[in-house]
Structure 1
Amino acid sequence: MPENNPLPPPASPAPATAAQLAELRLNPGRPLLVVDADEVLFYFMRGFERHLQDQGLYFNWQSFALHGNVRRRADDAVLPQTELGPLLDGFFATATDLLEPVDGAADALAALAPLADIVVLSNLPLHAREARATALHRHGMPYPIIANTGPKGPAMAALLHHGPKRAAFIDDIPHNHASVAKLAPAVHRVHFIADHRLAALLPPSEHCQHRGESWAAMAQHLARELGS
């Protein structure tokens, strides 16, 4: 999903994130694949555009950012930053379990599951975690879901405490790759943006080792990285 003025990365996961991480049961010594959800497993922007239309708004597609691109249809005015948070909360509350799965995601993860533990690390309100879990199961991706807030480096570093043999991370947002590169530099980082309109607005993150173009191609790449 597009960026929304990220804050500086904290040193450790937020308390709610840490509590969810503590409940995970992973296999020490087994590879680990950590996957974002919005614009990686689900088409966020397709659903978000429908939500904006219902609110009398539209997305301007001028940059990979929410602030400045969400505008009112009536007068073309930019939606103030103070209104973006409530808008996103409303979207996640009503549409999380309605988003379309990204082409090939379920099949690719199913092919990778024998090679690695898989965890979905998604920035969404905690109240939407159950709806996201429901959507994951409905679309053939029954993997544990962590509802995170803020940059993802702290959560990724905490996941490494489980002792995976090697680890990979997939996300669409550059500052999440920067955060993981800083706090968990040994993790193999893959930058992937499912919506081609968004992908065209953003070059590969300087903090990733690979830019994914499709799940079919990423599955082959990750099988080499995690199975080597």
Structure 2
Amino acid sequence: MSAPRIHDSVVPQLEALVLEEGRPLVITDADEVLFLFLQGFEAYLEDNGHYLDLSSFALVGNIKNAATEEMAPVETAKDLLDGFFRERTETMTPVPGAAAALTALSARAQVVVLSNLPESSRGAREKALALAGMPYPIVANTGLKGPAVRHMADIVKAPVFFLDDIPHNHTSVAQAAPEVQRVHFVADPRLARLIGPAEHCHHRVDDWDEVRKLIEQELASLGW
């Protein structure tokens, strides 16, 4: 089986990034790391006759029709998710402390947002980030995140930190770029209670002030 590669739609976005060699890098997911995705998605579902049954750490398979209590078909669930990103991306609520922590970390590290979302929603997410005080470059990724993280780590040749809420993204990064420090972060307390630390993360931290302290301590211990 061939190793995962960077999706064709992601390559030009990575090529357009301006990354400084020799400067540490923080690569962060957006949903449930920088923005309260679940909170916004639940409101969108309610407005569209559905709700999320939080019985497990998953979206597809947990969306139910509010009138019938029946599980939404996979295609309906995907349509609802696409509609949410299309209509609500710009108005998502930031995770408390995220902007302040990244501002502090920016004094000694670069920041890139690596988020799996439709490329058509990339502009809306850029606006949301700017409005939330997080005007960092964003890459709209498709598929596993390891290859894109490997690409960026090869450019900066300095300590790299990766934050994400999805366990399989930590596995992907561990396989593609094992030297990258992986922080499992889940902002919504209800989701956080449903899942333990990702198998391939180095740290599980769900608070941005603690993340800032962790990264600063790690950089100091490495002489940065």
Match of 2:103 in 1: 110
Q: Distance in 1 between matches of 2:219 and 2:55?
A: 36
Q: State which of 177, 191, 204 in structure 2 corresponds to 1:211.
A: 204
Match of 1:190 in 2: 183
Uncovered stretches (5+) of structure 1, i.e. residues with no partner: 1-7
Closer/same/farther in 2, CA of residues 148 and 10 from structure 1, 3 Å limit: farther
Does the Cα contact within 8 Å between 2:165 and 2:186 map onto a contact in 1?
yes
| The 10-residue stretch of structure 1 (54-63 or 80-89) with the greater mean CA deviation from structure 2 | 80-89
Is residue 71 from structure 1 mapped to residue 54 from structure 2 by the alignment?
no
Q: Percent of counterpart pairs with the same letter? A: 48
Q: State which of 14, 36, 49 in structure 1 corresponds to 2:7.
A: 14
Match of 2:51 in 1: 58
| Secondary structure at the counterpart of residue 218 of structure 1 | helix
Is residue 89 from structure 1 mapped to residue 104 from structure 2 by the alignment?
no
Instruction: Give, as a single letter, the amino acid of the residue that structure 1 aligns with 2:126.
Output: A
| Secondary structure at the counterpart of residue 183 of structure 2 | strand
Match of 2:131 in 1: 138
Is residue 222 from structure 1 mapped to residue 193 from structure 2 by the alignment?
no
Q: TM-score, normalised by structure 1?
A: 0.94
Q: Where does 1:121-160 land on structure 2 (aligned, <5 Å)? A: 121-160=114-153
Cα deviations by residue, 1:127-158 (Å, 9 ceiling, x for unpaired): 10011000111111010000011111111111
Q: Distance in 2 between matches of 1:10 and 1:99?
A: 34
Q: TM-score, normalised by structure 2?
A: 0.96
Uncovered stretches (5+) of structure 2, i.e. residues with no partner: none
Closer/same/farther in 2, CA of residues 16 and 62 from structure 1, 3 Å limit: same
List structure 1 segments (4+ residues) > 4 angstroms apart after TM superposition: none
Closer/same/farther in 2, CA of residues 175 and 9 from structure 1, 3 Å limit: farther
Instruction: Give, as a single letter, the amino acid of the residue that structure 2 aligns with 1:80.
Output: P
Does the Cα contact within 8 Å between 2:65 and 2:72 map onto a contact in 1?
yes
Cα deviations by residue, 1:47-81 (Å, 9 ceiling, x for unpaired): 00011001100000000011221000111111111
Closer/same/farther in 2, CA of residues 94 and 9 from structure 1, 3 Å limit: farther
Does the Cα contact within 8 Å between 2:25 and 2:156 map onto a contact in 1?
no
